[in-house]
Structure 1
């Protein structure tokens, strides 16, 4: 038996990078998973088939996660397909790697819509279903060490992750009496396509690895393993907080 047998899960941004690893790991532990797509339906379908070929359950739903109505529809998809909703993973995220002086209004709005607005309204939609079901629920946010650690030259991303931190702290307090928990997971440097400009450059990669006490970047599976642990029920007294998964980088270096 898997640690997530019988649980119904929604993962935003679940068809690539960390999200894909989360979907595969949760499905392998017995969860039934809903994954969204907008422009890459084929990529999502390949992932869903991979889950099914391994004996798991997963469905896709076309949804623009920057729109509250679509997020509510994602949660309803889990209920319609699997009978209930147990866990939401707010994983979707983008960055522009621009400074305060260079960020346009359009770029800022896009980052905030995908990173912060989607997490806010997906959490709202999930929490309402958890409360209606009457037996609690769990919201996990894939944040970043940059919810707390400045990253000059990537300011909109940092602002969005800082907002996610306060969302978790405040909503965790609001929802606690309903048995609904919210926890952030804050990765450090992860070997995903979003970091390809660093991982493909030997000098940049070496500098980054030297700054990490464990001397290596995380793999997406390293983050997915923490998600599975938090969703398994073995973290039932955790809420309104952040779990940092960074190889010690926040302690080992300043100002990367």
Structure 2
């Protein structure tokens, strides 16, 4: 998808790898000035080598105080992609406090915190903006050992709608992209059983998992003016899974 984001500044969380990294690179290629945020410095270093000119911020979004300090120097942002997430897979009866707190801290609380900072800046500057939250089809269906992860993504669905309602009068649009399995390092945890992975793929009407490019293109579409009347929506990139 050829879109032009020149003159716009974009912040992508969880930009060190996976969907976030590919999104940061695509925005950079489309002319945006990109701020890539990750907790892993080595990933940011390699990203900067691939895309000179990208700004990087190294911080653990699970740490509220450190995040507040890091965001204080980010500057104006026009486009925000809340992608950072952890998947700590445990059976429901074995979920620990640590896994619960860490998952909600990174997957949901950081979306509140980062979005508040960015949206306040947009409002102060009197500019429109677009925010895309990276959710999952597990907001609607779940898989074994995903009780906590699914809960964070289900909550993100309602948060997206609420943000769209309250920020809409300020010309700030908020949407989510909800992919099925995307072949990233994080998804490998849930696909460690080859037979489960095979059966899961077969349950998708298109007989495939989501391509990274398709997910990134959906994010870019929602960030762009081509979706100017879309807000509060969840865009499924699920190869038809929820239709099956």
TM-score (normalised: structure 2): 0.93
**Unaligned runs of at least 5 residues, structure 1:** none
2: CA distance, partners of 1:122 / 1:158: 21
2: CA distance, partners of 1:160 / 1:51: 31
2: CA distance, partners of 1:2 / 1:246: 23
Root-mean-square deviation (CA, aligned residues, Å) is: 1.8
Indicate whether 1:230 and 2:217 are aligned. Answer: no
> 1:20 is matched with which residue?
21
**3-state SS of paired residue (1:95):** coil
Among 55, 60, 63, the alignment partner of 2:56 is 60
Change beyond 3 A, Cα 1:72–1:221 = farther
**Unaligned runs of at least 5 residues, structure 2:** none
**3-state SS of paired residue (2:80):** strand
Change beyond 3 A, Cα 1:64–1:200 = closer
1: CA distance, partners of 2:7 / 2:65: 26
**3-state SS of paired residue (2:34):** strand
What is the number of equivalent residue pairs in this alignment? 243
After TM superposition, the runs of 4+ consecutive aligned structure 1 residues lying more than 6 A away are: none
Contact 1:96 1:157 in 2 (8 A): yes
Cα offset for 1:6? 1.4
> 2:162 is matched with which residue?
170
Change beyond 3 A, Cα 1:43–1:129 = same
**3-state SS of paired residue (1:234):** helix
> 1:108 is matched with which residue?
100
Contact 1:36 1:74 in 2 (8 A): no
